[in-house]
Structure 1
Amino acid sequence: MLIGYARTSTVEQIAGLEAQERDLRAAGVERIYQEQTSATGPRKALTEALDYLREGDALVVTKLDRLARSVADLVGIIKTIQAKKASLKVLALSLDTGTPTGKLMLNLLGSVAEFERDLMLERQREGIAKAKAEKRYKGRKPTAMAKADEVRRLAGQGLTREAIAKQLGIGVASVYRALRSETGATEGRAQAN
């Protein structure tokens, strides 16, 4: 049986998830596990897909970067797949670990992908350091605080902090910060009067 796994890093990447699902179905995948989470975060659907694998099955992904975050992560996933006497297929690479050549290629490609990511992160750090030295670095825009008015409105309606976070797609800590910033501003105004 072909078991598919599709992942995007953010909920905004719906088109990417739909494209992966389309490609997996075209490849004959019968069951698809999908999720929208960072590769560094918990991947519940991947765990479920690996648990579902049986002897002779194949886990199918569209690209290698949708599956693993590093060579070590990839090796761990492959060991789990091999322990179940299953294989891995990567559509974009026409790769099948059910063959000796596929196993070799997977290890080489995983190493190259990790090297490429490390280079990208190094260039990013260098760019940030240069921008800071030139006093041009502003950092990431605080997206949750941009929703502070909406947080306060929902809190005024009696929603719990967790419900507000879920509805707005932000962390619970961000909800508390937004509410605390309003409290601090209100107290400051009250003291000035």
Structure 2
Amino acid sequence: MARIGYARVSTGDQDLEGQLQRLRAEGCEIVRSEKVSGASRDGRAELSTVIDFLRLGDELVVTRLDRLGRDTRDVLNIVHECQERGAFVTILDPHVSTRGEMGHVILTVLGMVAQMERRFLKERQKEGIERAKAAKLYKGGQKRINRKFVAELKSRGHTVSSIAERISCSRMQVYRILNDIGNA
């Protein structure tokens, strides 16, 4: 029986180290991590790998529920997939586990709260953007990746994978940038 940790942050500029340290301190022999949005399961290859790896009696450990997902259905589907493999899910903060029946109820409620938080956040963000637009202060989302640097690395012969690793983004983002600038 293995304790397998999963850590996630939403963007490349966020730090995973706190989650990784906590999971290791909790006795996770294997810890997988990724930098990708938790809004859906799309693009979360490390999570899929962890779930595929789970065996009877194993335990998937995350620091907080929102590291698994922000959508109630996604969280419940992940828990269900783990259970089908005979594995358990444990959230460290607050401490909840699917080892007991009450854990399922608590995870469902927490999943609904996480989804509600996400909706509220999006509403507040939309309201803030509308106010900024009305005040003629809104400039749109800032590009996080230096597109010229990506093109320069590609022209120097770097592979898409090496560019993605160097600038901490996905290969798909690099392909999109190269395609946009006509350098694919």
Superposition TM-score tier, normalisation by shorter sequence: 0.7 to 0.9
- The equivalences for 1:128-139 within 5 A come to 128-139=129-140
Tell whether the 8 Å contact from 1:151 to 1:179 is kept in structure 2 after alignment. no
Structure 2 distance, partners of 1:36, 1:120, is 20
Q: In the alignment, does 2:172 pair up with 1:174? A: no
Larger radius of gyration: 1
Q: In the alignment, does 2:12 pair up with 1:11? A: yes
Compare the two structures and name the one with the higher helix fraction: 1
**Shift in CA distance, 123/80, structure 1 to aligned 2, threshold 3 Å:** same
Tell me, which stretches of 5 or more residues in structure 1 are unaligned? 181-193
Q: Aligned residue pairs: how many? A: 175
Relative to the length of structure 2, the TM-score reads 0.82
- Aligned-pair distance for 1:161? 7.6
Secondary structure, counterpart of 1:92 in structure 2: coil
Tell whether the 8 Å contact from 1:154 to 1:164 is kept in structure 2 after alignment. no
- The equivalences for 1:30-179 within 5 A come to 30-39=29-38, 40=40, 41-144=42-145, 146-148=146-148, 150-151=149-150, 153-154=152-153, 156-157=155-156, 159=157, 162=160, 165-166=163-164, 167-168=166-167, 169=169, 171-178=174-181
**Shift in CA distance, 84/38, structure 1 to aligned 2, threshold 3 Å:** same
- Aligned-pair distance for 1:34? 1.7
Structure 1 residues 152-181: Cα deviation after superposition (integer angstroms, max 9, x where no partner): 544554x2683685344552332344468x
Residue of structure 2 in register with 1:29 after alignment: 28
Tell whether the 8 Å contact from 1:71 to 1:111 is kept in structure 2 after alignment. yes
- Structure scoring higher RCO (CA < 8 A, sep ≥ 6) equals 2
Tell whether the 8 Å contact from 1:155 to 1:164 is kept in structure 2 after alignment. no
Tell me, which stretches of 5 or more residues in structure 2 are unaligned? none
Relative to the length of structure 1, the TM-score reads 0.79
Tell whether the 8 Å contact from 1:59 to 1:89 is kept in structure 2 after alignment. yes
Letter in 2 for 1:141: Q
Structure 2 distance, partners of 1:62, 1:93, is 9
- Aligned-pair distance for 1:141? 2.1
Identity, % of aligned pairs? 36
